Amino acid sequence: MSSTSSKKKIAIFGSTGSIGTQALEVIRGNGDDMEVEILTAQTNDELLVKQALEFNPNAVVIGDETKYNNVKTALASTDIKVFAGEEALEEVAAFDTYDIMLAAIVGFAGLKPTLKAVEQGKVIALANKETLVVAGDIVMQKAIENKSPIIPVDSEHSAIFQCLVGEARNPIEKIILTASGGPFFGKKPNFLVNVKRDHALQHPNWNMGAKITIDSATLMNKGLEMIEAKWLFNLQPHQIEVVIHPQSIIHSMVQFEDGSIKAQMGLPDMKLPIQYALGFPGRIKNEFPRFNYKKYPVLNFDEPDYRTFRNLGLATEALQRGGNCPCVLNAANEIAVWAFLKNRIGFLDITAVVEKTMAAIAFIEKPSLQEYFDSDGEARNFAASLMKI
């Protein structure tokens, strides 16, 4: 901690995205206890500048180097240090001036800066599930070696984390990840074949970024969460179950060896798990809307439809195979979702691209970090070639 302040100093990597902007709302409401030390964005220089002028961090990073001058000029009248480029993200992640990194960069791009922060022994509030999907074994090993606590921000993993507080000596029998089912719950392939971008972006419960919203619509998001949960909670694949829960009130559950189940409940609002991670181990009073059981007289649970939403099956296969398979799955999915959002491919083509890429890329049972990077690149290139991008 800084000697001049008892406030938690927070570095938000991915401050202009959905998680980042909601995190700043949380910090805005807790100014006596938290302050912003670092902000980073990939391309949204205008919002980054606006955030920097309000929160006055020590440093900002714009990933897109062509926008460096815009940011530098806009912040010239301040003492804020301005950096640009991918390497700068890693360099700033290694700063010793902050206490908590909120890892909210979307996708594979979040891996390197998060690893750098782990190596510094920082507390990681992890909103980037791809970091553990891609290289969970290496990240968790480094977290143990460097005594770097990893506190999950994903609502499902936050729920499990909260359920496990006080249960350190009680083995988990299984965890149950809840899924809303997305906008196409109950639909069949003959409907999904005609789905367009704007339709897929209309999630019934959650307000999220475009990438994660599409992943929720295909159920890939839940598959990635299964892989993330394996590493976060040291589980075997057979201990991880998915159930469709359309109301999104129960965020996930843990079943213990005596058969008892603990669940964490609340309204679908990402500010709550963000605040919990930033405030841990304490709970911070807030004025967020409260759950009213009268509005939810019934909570439903259903089996996932693996035949229609085949991404969940592909992710389960990657979870069971391990090695570089989850890395390949994630890379192919990132490329396919990007293409769908650009109206280059159809909704069901996302799954086809992922499946073909998984079959094409050589399996490595125990990859090094470099082999993870290589597998990611190969998978992206192969997936792009399928779509002639």
pTM above 0.85, yes or no: yes
Residues 316 and 328 placed together within one structural domain of the fold: no
Q: Give the whole-angstrom CA distance, residue 153 versus residue 131.
A: 13
pLDDT per residue as tens digits for the range 183-231: 999 999 999 998 988 888 988 777 778 898 999 999 999 999 999 999 9
pLDDT value, residue 1: 43
Q: Give the whole-angstrom CA distance, residue 62 versus residue 83.
A: 6
Query: Two tokens at 108?
Result: 């594979």
Angle, CA of 364, 139 and 274, to the nearest 5°: 130
Residues 163 and 303 placed together within one structural domain of the fold: yes
Q: Say if 354 falls within a structural domain.
A: yes
Q: Say if 228 falls within a structural domain.
A: yes
Which of 106, 124, 152 is where one domain is finished? Answer: 152
CB count, 10 Å around CB of 258? 8
Q: Tell me the C-alpha to C-alpha distance, in Å, between residue 41 and each of 48, 238, 259, 351.
A: 6, 38, 45, 29
pLDDT per residue as tens digits for the range 278-318: 999 999 999 999 999 999 999 999 999 999 999 999 999 99
Terminal-residue alpha carbon distance, the chain: 47
- Going through the chain in order, the beta strands assigned E by DSSP cover 8-13, 34-41, 59-62, 81-84, 100-103, 123-126, 150-152, 172-179, 240-244, 250-256, 261-265
Residues 228 and 208 placed together within one structural domain of the fold: yes
Which of 123, 152, 181 is where one domain is finished? Answer: 152
Which of 134, 152, 170 is where one domain is finished? Answer: 152
Residues 205 and 301 placed together within one structural domain of the fold: yes
Residues 34 and 137 placed together within one structural domain of the fold: yes
Q: Say if 237 falls within a structural domain.
A: yes
Q: How many residues does the chain have?
A: 389
Q: Say if 2 falls within a structural domain.
A: no
pLDDT value, residue 5: 67
Q: Domain total for the chain?
A: 3
CB count, 10 Å around CB of 73? 11
Residues 103 and 251 placed together within one structural domain of the fold: no
Structural domain of 171: 157-321
Residue 246: asked if its preceding bond is cis (omega within 30°), the reply is no
Residue with tokens 């035949």: 307
pLDDT value, residue 264: 98
Q: Say if 136 falls within a structural domain.
A: yes
Q: Taking a C-beta distance cutoff of 8 angstroms, is the pair 278, 10 a contact?
A: yes
Q: Say if 211 falls within a structural domain.
A: yes
pLDDT value, residue 4: 54
Q: Tell me the C-alpha to C-alpha distance, in Å, between residue 108 and each of 80, 81, 347.
A: 27, 26, 22
Residues 55 and 186 placed together within one structural domain of the fold: no
Query: Two tokens at 183?
Result: 């906008």
Residues 350 and 250 placed together within one structural domain of the fold: no
pLDDT value, residue 209: 81
CATH number at residue 77: 3.40.50.720
DSSP state of 302: B
CB count, 10 Å around CB of 298? 5
Residues 317 and 328 placed together within one structural domain of the fold: no
Residues 6+ apart with CB under 8 A from 169: none
Task: Give the pairing type, strands 172-179 and 250-256.
Answer: antiparallel
Q: Which of 35, 23, 29, 31 shows the shortest CA–CA distance to 287?
A: 29
Q: Say if 113 falls within a structural domain.
A: yes
Q: Say if 3 falls within a structural domain.
A: no
CATH number at residue 364: 1.10.1740.10
Residues 185 and 311 placed together within one structural domain of the fold: yes
Residues 6+ apart with CB under 8 A from 176: 241, 242, 243, 252, 253, 254, 255, 261
How many C-alpha atoms does 291 have within 13 Å on its Cβ side?
15
Residues 222 and 148 placed together within one structural domain of the fold: no
Q: Which of 184, 250, 257 shows the shortest CA–CA distance to 216?
A: 184
Residues 109 and 68 placed together within one structural domain of the fold: yes
Spans of the chain below 50 pLDDT: 1-3
